[in-house]
Amino acid sequence: MSRLPSKSPTDLRRRTTVTARRTLVATTLLVVPLLAAPLLTAGAARADAVSDFYTGKDVKLIVSSSPGGGYDTYARLISRHIGPFIPGKPDIIVQNMPGAGGIKAGNFLYNVAPKDGSVIGGLQNGVPFEPLFRRKEARFDPLRFNWLGTPNSEVGMLLVWHTVPVTTLGDATKRETIMGSSGAASTPSFYARILNEVFGTRLKLITGYPGQTEAFLAMERGELEGYPSTFWSSLKATRPDWIKENKVRLLVQYGQKPHPELPDVPVARDLAKSADDKALLDLAMAPLVLGRPYLAPPDVRTDRVAALRAAMKSAFADAAFRAEAKKLRLEVDPQSGEEMTELLRTTYSAPKPVVERLIRIYEIGRKAKKSKS
């Protein structure tokens, strides 16, 4: 009678190893779902909690400007599209709160508004930097706001009327060029002083125009020769005929990066000759990078902040949002809340000499405003 061959030690070791591996795989298939289940349940619970909070609620969107302007137009566009992307699909109600150049709304959102995610805000892009300029009226810490996102970054421009004998930034250093502005401490006046400081331009400010619209009309009448700070997006939306008919010359553009539609317009930072001047421009242009910033008050629950940030990001990417923005001639080049937070942290940690130089330029306008009042 034949005998079965005996197993060698090597065969036995192989069988043991295979059996162990099969046992390990089987155990993993059983254990991993058990371990993952609480995590999935917790994630679903958080999503449900956010949805439960917003279901049936109205979310107020506070806008720091008057009705009808660019900030208001963006806010109302966002209000029509963001709701379906927030868990619970709340209605978004726009409420204008102009005053003190946007500081009034900033103070309200920081000190008064509910800190539960039921109120969000859209501020003028200079407002988050008011504490940097030591404005006592600005009673908020911008680094404690929960920044949600911005639909675009802005590119500012210095422009002159086509009949003015100034064709380059260099020409503007050789003759006085009459510019319009609303007030000595306004944004256009601030950027005019920045350009005079860095490039030696001789931009003379005539203040008292209620806004850009009135200043543009004065340019058409020949009363003004130019305007020191208009956004490219705003010019396209409000004066497309000026662009088409070459009614204005764009002497320089300034912002985070050159606008792709303006390849022939010089970039301010590239023209700056010293590292100190470049650092000053970077700090001064930070508000333009924020574009049209949106935020939630401090101390809102992190899950609700995350939901609002995600909703804003989804709305900005949505085809319907972009189609309506295009119809309204509004640019869409969004940044996330995280990117905005990092920009503010970098700005508020800028070297002291650069900050002091910027404050000195800013204070010229503040002192001029006080002397008039």
Angstrom distance (rounded) from CA 149 to CA 295: 7
Judge if 248 and 360 occupy the same domain.
yes
Q: Is residue 45 part of a domain?
A: no
Domain count, the chain: 2
Judge if 245 and 277 occupy the same domain.
yes
Judge if 147 and 99 occupy the same domain.
yes
Judge if 206 and 267 occupy the same domain.
yes
Q: Which element (helix H / strand E) includes 146? A: strand 146-150
Q: According to the model, what pLDDT value does residue 347 have?
A: 96
Q: According to the model, what pLDDT value does residue 4 have?
A: 43
Judge if 325 and 252 occupy the same domain.
no
Structural tokens at position 90 = 């709340």
Domain that holds residue 270: 156-287+355-372
- Work out whether strand 146-150 and strand 294-296 pair parallel, antiparallel, or are unpaired: antiparallel
Judge if 77 and 172 occupy the same domain.
no
Q: According to the model, what pLDDT value does residue 201 have?
A: 98
- How many other CB atoms are found less than 10 A from the CB of residue 35? 8
Q: According to the model, what pLDDT value does residue 33 have?
A: 57
Is residue 336 very low, low, confident or very high in pLDDT (cuts 50, 70, 90)? very high
Q: Is residue 31 part of a domain?
A: no
Judge if 120 and 78 occupy the same domain.
yes
Kindly state the percentage of the chain with pLDDT values over 70: 85
Angstrom distance (rounded) from CA 182 to CA 175: 23
CATH number of the domain encompassing residue 227? 3.40.190.10
Cβ atoms 88, 57 nearer than 8 A:
yes
CA atoms within 13 A on the CB side of 234: 22
Q: Is residue 25 part of a domain?
A: no
Judge if 78 and 225 occupy the same domain.
no
Judge if 93 and 225 occupy the same domain.
no
Strand order in the sheet with 58-63: 91-96, 58-63, 119-122, 294-296, 146-150, 335-336
CA distances from 193 to 101, 177, 188, 210, 273 (A): 19, 13, 9, 19, 17
Q: What is the pLDDT of residues 242-286, one digit of tens each?
A: 999 999 999 999 998 899 999 999 999 999 999 999 999 999 999
Q: Is residue 12 part of a domain?
A: no
Judge if 59 and 106 occupy the same domain.
yes
pTM for this prediction: 0.79
Beta-strand (E) ranges in 190-322? Answer: 203-207, 226-231, 248-254, 294-296
Top-confidence residue, 313 or 26: 313
Structural tokens at position 347 = 């700005």
Q: According to the model, what pLDDT value does residue 34 have?
A: 53
Mean confidence (pLDDT) of the chain = 89
Q: What is the pLDDT of residues 97-143, one digit of tens each?
A: 998 888 999 999 999 999 999 999 999 999 999 999 999 999 999 99
Cβ atoms 310, 117 nearer than 8 A:
no
CATH number of the domain encompassing residue 98? 3.40.190.150
Q: Which element (helix H / strand E) includes 157? A: strand 156-161
Q: According to the model, what pLDDT value does residue 86 have?
A: 98
Judge if 64 and 120 occupy the same domain.
yes
Q: Is residue 22 part of a domain?
A: no
Is residue 337 very low, low, confident or very high in pLDDT (cuts 50, 70, 90)? very high
Q: Is residue 349 part of a domain?
A: no
Top-confidence residue, 66 or 227: 227
